[in-house]
Amino acid sequence: MVSAEVRSALQSIEAASVSDKPTQYNSLLQGITSKSPADNLAADLIAYATTLLDDNLGVVVLRPLVSNLVEHYSKVEDLDTKVEVGDRLIQLLAPKGAQYEEQDTKIKETLADAYEQQEEFVKSAQTLSKISLESTQKSLSDDDKAKIWIRIVRCYIEEDDTTAAFGALNKVKSVIHNVTDKSTKLMFQLSQARIYDAQRSFLDAAQAYYTMSLESIVDEEERLQALSAAIVCAVLAPAGPQRGKMLARLYKDERAGQVEDFPILEKIFFDRILKPEEIKAFADKLQPHHLAKTSDGSTVLDKAILEHNLLGASKLYNNIGFDQLGELLNTSAERAEDYASKMFEQGRLAGYIDQIDRLIFFEGEGSGERKTGHAERISGRELRKWDANVQGLAEEVEKVTTMIQHEHPDFYASRMMVH
């Protein structure tokens, strides 16, 4: 509720002459921010702003008064008051148009800060998104635009809204090549990595985190954290040639030995089968989205480890039965067959499946290229065998013909004359 003192002062100002109003408004604002009780501060400031903006003062007189109001508003310490007043100030300035864009922008940035401190990240992002970046009063640089969009991205990431975050990130991409501020560029890279990570695009995330870890202007401890995040994402990425290249890059980095997850990186790099206790220790350090359920009911980690162990099994066996593979992978025979089939089809592992004899045959590393189907894989394999057999037969016939020519030249010559 507006205090009686402020209400009376505002009525007095309204009756004053235009020349006296600026001084009286500024004096009253100073009194409100320094003397109003905490439970009255929001109501007093809103009453002051309403009267000020309803006053028939010209732009030249009003703009400095509004700027002074915004300056005092930004220094309010109570977050609830700052949010309540900020929301109302934005509403009051909206009809005023572009003449107060600078003041409007500062209010929205201050209000967004308050929302972030209250951990209302979506509201902060929504407030920032309402800032006019195509100002008619002041030309904003690409650096200024990028900083605001990056803040929006980070707010949505905090709420795990990767779809909205990705939309804001795409806006940054349109100007990032013109951005000169290195910290903004780094925040862009980190935001991109976190979005890839949250969307389970783990190979892209690993590459983005690793790039961050190489930035010399980043603190050494933060670079190691980025390297650790890159290792985690590489472990969770789908097993195959592309992940193998990323793992090699990470394993050969001389800093990798300083990271807590180096032992599991080493085992996976060398295609060693992981034990349940090693998997559990690794899982205890992961973030919730790394342990999210996939379409088949398993977690992201379960899927990654099963695929890795399947790749490890392919290094140990030329062929293996469904039941034996399921036992080795600590899963059912049907699930082991299903995962092997998908990896073969996607080109992440080379081989084929004999469903009649319930055997899986491994033929080395995958090409990384997606195959069109099981039937084509089998027919292609059989055709290659046929070609090899025909070539072998032709070579044997040629050898026999040569021997006859040497041992029985007369007979050979007579046969050739006949033909």
How confident is the model over 248-259, as pLDDT tens digits? 999 999 999 999
Q: Note the pLDDT of residue 121.
A: 95
- CA 322 to chain CA centroid, Å, is 37
pLDDT at 118: 95
Spell out, as residue ranges, where the chain has pLDDT lower than 50: 368, 372-375, 377, 379
- Quick check: pTM over 0.85? no
Looking only at the bridges linking them, the beta strands covering 319-321 and 359-365 are: antiparallel
Q: What pLDDT sits at residue 369? A: 54
pLDDT at 35: 83
- Give the integer Cα–Cα distance in Å for 29 and 33: 6
Give pLDDT, residue 375: 47
Q: Determine the Cα–Cα distance for residues 124 and 111; give it in Å rounded to an integer.
A: 7
> Checking DSSP bridges between strand 349-354 and strand 319-321, what pairing results, if any?
unpaired
Q: Which two tokens stand for residue 289?
A: 């989205």
Kindly compute the dihedral angle of the four CA atoms of residues 155, 146, 74, 110, in this order, to the nearest 10 degrees: -30
Domain boundaries, the chain: 1-120
Q: What is the pLDDT of residues 86-96, one digit of tens each?
A: 999 999 999 88
On the 0-12 / 13-18 / 19+ scale of CB atoms within 10 A, 339 is buried
Residue 135: the pLDDT is 65
> How far are the Cα atoms of 117, 122, 241, 275 from residue 94, in angstroms, in the given order?
25, 21, 56, 62
